[in-house]
Amino acid sequence: MTIDTYPPNSPATAGPISATRVHLPGSPAFDAGTRLWNGAVTRRPAAVVRPTSCSEVQSALRYAADTGIPVAVRGGGHDWAGRALATGGLVIDLSLMRRVEVDVASQTAFVSGGSTAADVVAATEPFGLVPATGTYGGVGMVGLTLGGGYGPLNGIAGLALDNVVAFEVVLRDGTTTIVDERHEPDLFWALRGGGGNFGVVTGMRLRLHALDSVISGFVGFPWEQAEQIFRRYDVLNPTMPDELTVQIGVLSGPDCQPIVFMAPAWSGAPATGVTWIERLKRLGTPVVAEVGEMPYSAMLGLFDPYVIDGRHYELRTRTVRSLGGDVIQTLLRAGESRTSALSGIAIHHFHGAATRVPLGDTAFGIRSDHFVVEIVAAWDPSDNESRHRGWADTVYSELGPYSLDGGYPNLIGPGQAAQADSAYGPNAGRLLAVKRRYDPGNVFSATPLPSSA
């Protein structure tokens, strides 16, 4: 492994073990390989490798095993909690591995480990096919999928993880294996919901869905109608068909004051979709209603103005059965007490096909109808972070009495051990058994796991 020092020819700290290049602090490649969406992350690795093939990932893992250096894996760089970086360790940055190969006949795609959701859609959309993604195109597709994958097609396609046909995984000893329902079935089960805790996923084959366009956009309501909107939405929600998945929450309007937003995604017959969009608009008096038929790729760009790389973030997550009265009152207080106009709340809609997967079929811990409340504190780097983190903690705590145990593994951060212990429900015991079998030394810890079962 050759060493990339900066300035060039400065002393290196490790010897060569293969043709893979190791990038040290100060080099442009080190900076690129450690850059995360959340600028508040302060973890500082010792080195980065940026592989372009499975063999280079194998070399990196064998080097780590020989030296005992901690390992972290960076995919799309969108991990808010910093688990993609290992303090004093080696980062395996997959962002140069972004190959997407579409098999139109089988309606599947092979997706390399560093691909973003936008990368995958760009490759599949010309064939009238789309994957089940999250709500934002910049998120790494593998990381999203390993932990769950709430998104606009949950109602018709399930979670992103429900659409995996096979994984390509480099295990802790540097061997590569293809994992599916027949080969390493326990590992296949665990990777669908248990996160990147078992190896480096260098690729996966995904099931695609025939879809030429969606009806999507934003509907915004004035804050004085907030309680009415949340209540009416909660009543309407159980009647929504699989084809309609609606994210709702709190964002800032043009005057920086809070508004209630809805981001509907309709994936069925356009005429019926228009009828449902009109029903959503009639929940109140919109101040903005920009909804129309668009390519799936355009829908993934709708949140671009709110997801700014390098800004500072703190996230919390709660899971609730419904937006009942106490939950609504908490959301109202949260919107009014925001410490930054950049902060907001996104409520993810879990219904339809995602609920019809038996709980034991994957490691994911909840399969009944629910909402994930994503509490996002955001601020500019020059601002005082403590008050913004405090807002997120307060909202999280106030929602606690009305929430289900556990939380969404992709959003659980450091210090939320109780949530991690409950996140997998009755699947926790089997998940830990798979972890002990494939990674007893805990080389990989990309997603919080329960401490015991």
Query: How many structural domains are present in the chain?
Result: 3
- Residue 450: pLDDT over 90: no
- Residue 20: pLDDT over 70: no
**Does residue 78 or residue 453 have the better pLDDT?**
78
Cβ of 355: how many Cβ atoms within 10 Å? 17
Does residue 430 fall inside a structural domain?
no
Tokens of 86: 């290992």
Q: Residue 16 — pLDDT band, cuts 50, 70, 90?
A: very low
Per-residue confidence (pLDDT) for residue 10, from 0 to 100: 34
Are 244 and 333 in the same domain?
A: yes
Does residue 147 fall inside a structural domain?
yes
Per-residue confidence (pLDDT) for residue 178, from 0 to 100: 97
Are 273 and 192 in the same domain?
A: no
Instruction: Give the residue from 210, 236, 257 where a domain finishes.
Output: 210
Does residue 439 fall inside a structural domain?
no
Q: What are phi and psi of 216, to 5 degrees?
A: -150, 180
Are 26 and 145 in the same domain?
A: no
CA distance 268 to 252: 30
Are 363 and 280 in the same domain?
A: yes
Are 368 and 412 in the same domain?
A: yes
Are 279 and 404 in the same domain?
A: yes
CATH number at residue 149: 3.30.465.10
Per-residue confidence (pLDDT) for residue 449, from 0 to 100: 85
**Does residue 214 or residue 305 have the better pLDDT?**
214
pLDDT in tens, 170-181: 999 999 999 999
Does residue 422 fall inside a structural domain?
no
Does residue 264 fall inside a structural domain?
yes
**Does residue 80 or residue 375 have the better pLDDT?**
375
Q: Which of 365, 436, 453 is nearest to 197 (CA)?
A: 436
Are 264 and 293 in the same domain?
A: yes
Q: What is the mean pLDDT of residues 340-347?
A: 98
The C-alpha angle with vertex 41 and arms to 38 and 47, in degrees rounded to 5, equals 110
User: Which residue has 């005057």 as its token pair?
Assistant: 255
Does residue 448 fall inside a structural domain?
no
Does residue 438 fall inside a structural domain?
no
Per-residue confidence (pLDDT) for residue 151, from 0 to 100: 97
Are 238 and 383 in the same domain?
A: yes
Are 236 and 382 in the same domain?
A: yes
Q: Residue 452 — pLDDT band, cuts 50, 70, 90?
A: low
Length of the chain: 453
Instruction: Give the residue from 70, 93, 116 where a domain finishes.
Output: 93
Burial category of 10 from C-beta neighbours within 10 Å (exposed 0-12, middle 13-18, buried 19 and up): exposed
Are 412 and 341 in the same domain?
A: yes
Least confident of 211-215, 370-374, 446-450: 446-450
pLDDT in tens, 117-160: 999 999 999 999 999 999 999 999 999 999 999 999 999 999 99
User: Which residue has 């002393």 as its token pair?
Assistant: 11
Virtual torsion, Cα 189, 82, 58, 88, nearest 10 deg = -140
Per-residue confidence (pLDDT) for residue 318, from 0 to 100: 97
Contacts of 362 by beta carbon, 8 Å cutoff, 6+ apart: 161, 162, 189, 192, 193, 427
Tokens of 233: 């939405």
CATH number at residue 394: 3.40.462.20
Q: Are 287 and 222 in contact (CB under 8 A)?
A: yes
Are 270 and 356 in the same domain?
A: yes
Does residue 432 fall inside a structural domain?
no
Q: What is the mean pLDDT of residues 2-20?
A: 40
Instruction: Give the residue from 61, 93, 125 where a domain finishes.
Output: 93
Whole-angstrom CA distances from 445 to 20, 275, 420, 448 are 23, 45, 12, 7
Are 365 and 254 in the same domain?
A: yes
- Residue 7: pLDDT over 50: no
- Residue 338: pLDDT over 50: yes
Per-residue confidence (pLDDT) for residue 451, from 0 to 100: 77
- Residue 2: pLDDT over 50: no
Which residues form the domain of 183? 100-210
Q: What is the mean pLDDT of residues 183-207?
A: 97
CATH number at residue 37: 3.30.43.10
Q: Which of 399, 413, 449 is nearest to 40 (CA)?
A: 413
**Average pLDDT score over the chain:** 93
